[in-house]
């Protein structure tokens, strides 16, 4: 039975409106059209939504994901057995490999159609470390000078998975054992271009669609020129006033918009198990 819009539904935005906590609903049950619309509106407005205390099975996580949109592809990580659209982000207490996601990025921005949403639910949370940081690429764009906005408006950024999943990438050179099964591939060396400034298909707001992990240059510019422009923009995006730090608790579901945010998974929990389950929602060609 679907949920109608409950009077207890509460959306508590963070300062500046980037990120919000949503309470008063049970994500293990199908959402009514009205409730789904309210959740999608809050997601579009705030970029990152946190739903605490959501004890979801893997089947329920998949069902919730499909209420947001069709499953996205996860090209370089082996999914869970029996759940081809769920990734298990697991780092054992004795692992020495760098924690997964330890670099500022927007998920799979190198794809023709990068995922619109990433959904991550916490199963086991270490007592220290493990925060996830988010950067607001919309406000960072808004605050640029008009001259800078005019300069970057027509530019296209080059995106590639080569630094991470390519044959010479970080994971190809990994010497430490890792529980997660990473797939290194020649395919990851390919390059795709997207607008450096992206218009959000729901809100119509512009955002910087670049990130240090997957953006490898700017079309038509030399490496040095690209590094200078991108380096300046990354420094702007990572100013403290644009950052939301999410500290996890067990059973929290987090949903973020890859079209207007970057994120970074912090470590600092060596000696402790950390276990999360992740799905992605398919997106559109950036414009």
- Do the bridges between strand 48-51 and strand 20-23 make them parallel or antiparallel, or are there none, so unpaired? parallel
DSSP summary character for residue 211: -
204-216 residue pLDDT tens: 999 999 999 999 9
pTM higher than 0.75, yes or no? yes
Q: How confident is the model over 177-190, as pLDDT tens digits?
A: 899 999 999 999 99
Question: Could you tell me the end-to-end alpha-carbon distance of the chain, in angstroms, rounded to an integer?
Answer: 38
Task: Write out pLDDT tens, residues 196-250.
Answer: 999 999 999 999 999 999 999 999 999 999 999 999 999 999 999 999 999 999 9
pLDDT at 38: 95
Q: Domains plus CATH for the chain?
A: 10-281 (3.60.130.10)
Torsion of Cα atoms, 33 then 39 then 41 then 44, to 10°: -140
By the 8 A CB rule, do 182 and 171 touch? Answer: yes
**Model confidence at 4: pLDDT above 70:** no
Q: Please tell me the distance from the alpha carbon of residue 141 to that of residue 118, in angstroms, as a whole number.
A: 22
Mean pLDDT of the chain: 96
Identify each DSSP E strand in 103-155 by its residue range. 117-124, 132-136
Q: Hey, which residues does 119 pair with through a beta bridge? A: 255, 279
pLDDT at site 175: 83
Q: Report helix, strand or coil for 256.
A: strand
Only one residue has tokens 């500022």, namely 104
Instruction: Please name which of 113, 119, 103, 206 lies closest in space to residue 159, comparing C-alpha atoms.
Output: 113
Res 2: pLDDT = 55
């Amino acid at each position: 039975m679907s949920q109608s819009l409950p009077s207890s539904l509460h959306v508590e935005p963070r300062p500046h409106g980037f990120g919000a906590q949503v309470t008063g609903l049970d994500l293990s049950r199908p959402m009514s059209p009205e409730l789904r619309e309210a959740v999608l509106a809050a997601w579009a407005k705030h970029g990152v939504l946190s739903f605490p205390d959501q004890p979801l099975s893997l089947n329920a996580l998949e069902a919730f994901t499909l209420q947001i949109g069709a499953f996205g592809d996860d090209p370089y990580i082996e999914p869970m057995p029996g759940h081809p659209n769920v990734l298990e982000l697991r780092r054992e207490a004795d692992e020495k490999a760098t924690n997964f996601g330890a670099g500022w990025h927007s998920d799979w921005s190198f794809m023709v159609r990068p995922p619109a949403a990433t959904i991550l639910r916490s199963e086991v949370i270490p007592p220290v470390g493990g925060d996830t940081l988010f950067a607001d690429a919309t406000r960072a764009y808004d605050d640029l000078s008009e001259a800078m906005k005019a300069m970057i408006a027509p530019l296209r950024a080059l995106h590639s998975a080569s630094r991470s999943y390519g044959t010479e990438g970080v994971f190809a050179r990994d010497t430490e054992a890792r529980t997660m099964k990473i797939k290194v591939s020649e395919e990851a060396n390919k390059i795709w271009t997207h607008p450096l400034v992206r218009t959000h298909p729901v809100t119509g707001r512009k955002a910087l669609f670049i990130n240090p992990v997957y953006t490898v240059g700017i079309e038509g510019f030399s490496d040095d020129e690209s590094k200078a422009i991108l380096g300046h923009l990354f420094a702007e995006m990572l100013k403290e006033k644009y950052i939301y730090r999410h500290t996890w608790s067990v059973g929290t579901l987090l949903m973020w918009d890859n079209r207007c945010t970057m994120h970074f998974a912090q470590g600092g929990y060596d000696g402790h198990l950390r276990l999360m389950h992740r799905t992605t929602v398919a997106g559109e060609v950036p414009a």
